[in-house]
Structure formats: structure tokens, C-alpha cells
A and B are shown apart, each in its own frame.
Chain A
């Protein structure tokens, strides 16, 4: 990491992480002395948890350790339905106990602060963790600095609710507390960001709630893109049918300024909301920046799209939303596929076999209201240098339907089970 990068990163991290890592690493005690071939997975989100579980299933002789800062996981897929009222927030929470008791994964709770690649150690506040193979699933960080005034106070007033289901519950409370006749603002950044389709689903779910509970209210969507980028026609048709006069969609409205009075400013206007959900532009998670895993764009992590080994730092694998994926959405489905491919190929390499290309379907379900769902499918192939979107199969639902609403709920349930059942 160059001095410039480090300054930039420290600015990103708010300075709180300016600790003398290398000195600490040398002194810190080993948390779990190596006794078997060990893979350490940093990050227990979709990609990381799926990879850890798949590794143990592929090769029970491997010791797999997951480093995760939270004791339980509040998933984002399905969390929007909490806003609409058709899902309890607790339904999106899962603990890691089954990963330990059924699959023999070892959980270490704590924040991975640095990776010492030469010593093959992950540095935590409590000590170091040695590894033979390392998988990093750092998720996303928020480029809040690119929105003027979006400091701690403004972030509290205008939550993003884009990194955990718990934050969605907080946003839900703000909607509950709002008076009827209020204005809700929802701001979307330019792609790439975590699952754009979910942002349009969020608009649908907020509108569904308002229509039931606060029908004189209004939702204004300020989208930095000129038009919805995912399932655009389906959302437009659904909004026109269910939320006419309730959702006001304004494309090409990139928010450049925000404040604690819940005002958002774009190039052409300043609006004040009673509830404001501001989703900022994004980049790979902070650990990826700290460990020098981000590429020339300074945002995302380039990898070999077969083994998911970083092209920046050899011996470190990166999976999930943090990866550089030019034409693929950052979805739970893609994170799952990457976690599986990385795990199966790593298990193959450890067993002396060759890694193989992986083709996968990226599946993304949304609910328009409390009943009707729709899905988008596309196929990708990762074969080393390239991750290509395939020109076969896939496509969108012909419309919103109850059966796909049922499938959407099944998909979330099954996805959570693939992480930690």
C-alpha cells in the first residue's frame, strides 16, 4: 500500500484504525496454534460462511476457522420485507452455532485488522491467527466522503440500512414513527453497488407500507441512474399498478450533499424528507483496502475468476461483493456461487487436483408487495482472467406473480440454510 493509498484508506476508515499493526503482529500471541491443514475465512457473510461450510463438506480433514466480528448475522435478502411488514426482523437473523456443531467450523469472534501475508497470519485485537490458506470476504465499505455533509450526525438522520438487516429494523422504526402525509426520500447511487435490484425492491416495500399505514404520504426515489437498472420494466409496471401517486421516481438525480436536517441535494434541487434512506456509493470492505487487495480502480478486488485468488496479493483469496465484477450484480446469489467455487477449487488444489472453471446462475428475487414476486436470472462463467456473462438462458419473469412470491421466500430460507444449517 503506497503512502497515498494509506492516507486515503485512513480517511475512509475515519482514522480509528491507525494502529501500529506490524509491531503488534510480531508481539501478539497465536490464538489457535496450527495442528492441521488450516483455511482461515475472514468474514461470515454469505460468501464467507458458504465457503467455510463447503470446505468442511468437501474435506473434513481441513481445519476451517471463520473470523467474524458479529456473534450473529442479520441478513439483507428478505430484510426489505420487514419494511413492508410481511416479515419479522428476527427471521433474518441466524447464529453460527450450527456451522460449529454440525460442520466443525471454528468461529473466532473479532475484527480482523490486518493480514500479515509474509508470516501467513491474520491480526486480531486479541492475537494472531496462522493460516495455510486464506479466504477474505470483506463485503462492502461506504464511500460516505463523496457526499458533502454526510458525517456521523447526517448518517444517523439519513441511515443507509445497506450493510445489515439490523439497520433495516432501525429504518422501519423511523417509518413507523413518521406522521401520515410525510415524505420519504430514498437515494440510490450509481452502479456498481451491492444488489441494485434490492434497492428497487426497497422502494416497493416502503411504498407498500405507506399505502397500508400512511396513505397520504409519498416516497420520492432519487436515482443517480437515469432509469431503474434492474428489472426496470417490471418495477415500473408494478409501481404504476400498485403505487400510482405514491412513488415518485426521479432518474438522473445523484445526491451530492446531505445534512442532519434530512435534506438531500442533487445537481438540480434540494429536498427535505421526514424519513431519508440514503444509500451511498460503495467499495470493497475496509480490510480489502488495508490488505492491498483493491485494484487500479482503488475500489474493488481483482481476482482469478476460477480460484478467486487475488491478482494483487498472491496466496489470498477474495470472494463476495468486494470482488471486481464488471457485468455481474453483487448479489447474495453471486456471493454464494463464488464461495462455493473458491471452496471446491481450493479443496481440489489441496487434494492435488486441478481447479476447474465455474459456471453459475445468478438468481435475484424481489417482492413487489406482501404476495407477488418476480425474479431475474443470468448466467456467468469464471475461467481465470475473465468472468463473463453468458449469452444463453436466464431472463426475467413475465410479470409479478404469487407463485414467485412464494419462491422468493423459499429462496431466502434456502440461502440462509446454505450459510449456516
Chain B
């Protein structure tokens, strides 16, 4: 019998990547351990609970723009609820250090300490990534899926629903206008990206890139 080798959204995970631990699976494991009370001694648990409360309180200020619990209802603003924790942490620090261009985020990120950024990142990473349906072009989304399989799926895992390192955000269900504006910053050299991303982009046409954004934005509803 002939076996097809069509590309599937398989999760590749090396031990070091697993340690970075931003995946849903990793989070569930930690939550399960916490629930069993086996993860840490009492003092550490109290500290963690306090950090959770701190994160929840600080995160409220983000919601007028980024949406309740971080699911954006505005095309110009990204969803940050359910985003990878390491990516959120790295992004806030990049804004704070002016390593990523922004309008207001630089002024906001500078208001927080490293510990507060960590608490906010942990809070949003623990929320669901809401994916309300967006207007996208189905032809572009189909083309974009093929491009994704060819060029993007090693880092933006599982159709962009997961990621394997701090530099790779979850993309599935992200707001299309936000994705486009950011990609424009990358393509015009305003925002630097890591070398793998740069190499992948160099091999793609503008049409290919736009199509992948439609593919990511077209994913909606409960995807798990």
C-alpha cells in the first residue's frame, strides 16, 4: 500500500525547545502539577500566587486596547491573550529598550520593571487565544497555507497555533491589519528579525507573504 508523504503540521520539539516551554502542552503540564500541589514547596506557591495576582492586576491596563483577557476586538491591535509567554516577555523588553519600533508601546513598556513584565506576560500567556472570525481572502489563504508548509512551519508550529522559541509568536487567528503593518515594518527594515526569519522572507514574493498572513488570520474558532 502506498503511503502519502503530504506535509502535516507535526510538532517538532528538541529537549532544549521543550525547556523553553511556551507551548500549550507545557503549560498544561505545569498547571496539572500545580493542581496536585507537587510543583513547589509552600513558600514558592505563595510567591507564585502573589505573582499571578500582580500579573492579573497589572494586565487590566492593557485591556482597553488589547481586549478583555487579551483577545483583541480591533484590527489594528494584536491579540496577546494566549500568546507564547517567552515571546510576550521578549517583546515588552524590546519595546522598553527601543529595539522594536512602536508608537505608544515604548512609552508603556518603560513603566514596568522586569518582574512586572514577567508577571504580565505570564498572565496573558495563561488566557485563551480568542479567534473571532475575520474577513480574509479564501484564495490567498489557500495559497498562504502552501507557503506556510514550505517555509514557516518549522518555527510557527502547527499552522501558527504554537511556537517553539521566544522569537516566534503564535500567528493563527492574529489580527490581519496588525500582521500586515508589522510585516511592512519587517520588509522595510524598520523592525529587525532573527536570521532564520530574514532568510525565509528573502525567498518569498510579496504576494506569497501577503497570502500567508491571510492564512494565519483566516483561522478562527476553537482550533484545539
Complex contact A356–B64 (CB within 8 A):
no
A215→B64 CA distance, assembly (Å) = 36
Complex contact A356–B57 (CB within 8 A):
yes
A410→B75 CA distance, assembly (Å) = 8
A143→B109 CA distance, assembly (Å) = 39
Complex contact B72–A361 (CB within 8 A):
no
Q: Which residues in chain B, 59-79, are within 8 Å of chain A measured between CB atoms?
A: 60-61, 63-68, 72-77
Complex contact A361–B74 (CB within 8 A):
no
Complex contact B74–A414 (CB within 8 A):
yes
Write out the residue numbers on chain B whose beta carbons fall within 8 Å of the beta carbon of A358.
Answer: 57, 60
Q: Which residues in chain A, 379-421, are within 8 Å of chain B measured between CB atoms?
A: 379, 390, 392-395, 397, 401, 403-404, 406-407, 409-411, 413-415, 417-418, 421
Complex contact B111–A414 (CB within 8 A):
no
Write out the residue numbers on chain B whose beta carbons fall within 8 Å of the beta carbon of A415.
Answer: 64
Complex contact B107–A395 (CB within 8 A):
yes
Instruction: Provide the main secondary structure of the chain B interface.
Output: helix
Interface status of A249 (Cβ within 8 A of chain B): no
Interface status of A202 (Cβ within 8 A of chain B): no
Q: Which residues in chain A, 309-365, are within 8 Å of chain B measured between CB atoms?
A: 333, 336-337, 340-341, 344, 348, 353, 356, 358-361, 363
Complex contact B65–A411 (CB within 8 A):
yes
Complex contact A417–B61 (CB within 8 A):
no
Assuming the contacts A393-B110, A407-B76, A417-B73, asked whether A363 and B64 have C-beta atoms less than 8 A apart, the reply is yes
Complex contact B104–A379 (CB within 8 A):
no
Assuming the contacts A344-B57, A392-B110, asked whether A407 and B77 have C-beta atoms less than 8 A apart, the reply is yes
Of the candidates A353, A356, A361, the one whose C-beta lies within 8 Å of that of B54 is: A356
Assuming the contacts A393-B110, A393-B111, A414-B73, asked whether A403 and B103 have C-beta atoms less than 8 A apart, the reply is yes
Interface status of B210 (Cβ within 8 A of chain A): no
Q: How many residues of B contact A (CB 8 A)?
A: 29
Interface status of B58 (Cβ within 8 A of chain A): yes
Assuming the contacts A356-B53, A375-B104, A407-B103, asked whether A418 and B64 have C-beta atoms less than 8 A apart, the reply is yes
Complex contact A394–B110 (CB within 8 A):
yes
Assuming the contacts A333-B64, A360-B60, asked whether A414 and B72 have C-beta atoms less than 8 A apart, the reply is yes
Complex contact B77–A361 (CB within 8 A):
no
A49→B73 CA distance, assembly (Å) = 18
Complex contact A390–B65 (CB within 8 A):
no
Of the candidates A341, A393, A414, the one whose C-beta lies within 8 Å of that of B63 is: A414
Complex contact A394–B65 (CB within 8 A):
no
Complex contact B64–A336 (CB within 8 A):
yes
A358→B103 CA distance, assembly (Å) = 25
Complex contact A337–B61 (CB within 8 A):
yes
Write out the residue numbers on chain B whose beta carbons fall within 8 Å of the beta carbon of A237.
Answer: none
Q: Which residues in chain B, 86-134, are within 8 Å of chain A measured between CB atoms?
A: 103-104, 107-112, 116
Interface status of A17 (Cβ within 8 A of chain B): no
A359→B108 CA distance, assembly (Å) = 12
Write out the residue numbers on chain B whose beta carbons fall within 8 Å of the beta carbon of A421.
Answer: 68, 73
A377→B53 CA distance, assembly (Å) = 24
Complex contact A344–B77 (CB within 8 A):
no
Given A337-B61, A360-B58, A409-B76: 9 more A-B contacts, CB < 8 Å: A54-B60, A356-B53, A360-B61, A363-B65, A375-B103, A394-B111, A404-B103, A410-B76, A413-B74
Q: Taking beta carbons and an 8 Å cutoff, which residues of B are in contact with A?
A: 53-54, 56-58, 60-61, 63-68, 72-77, 103-104, 107-112, 116, 181
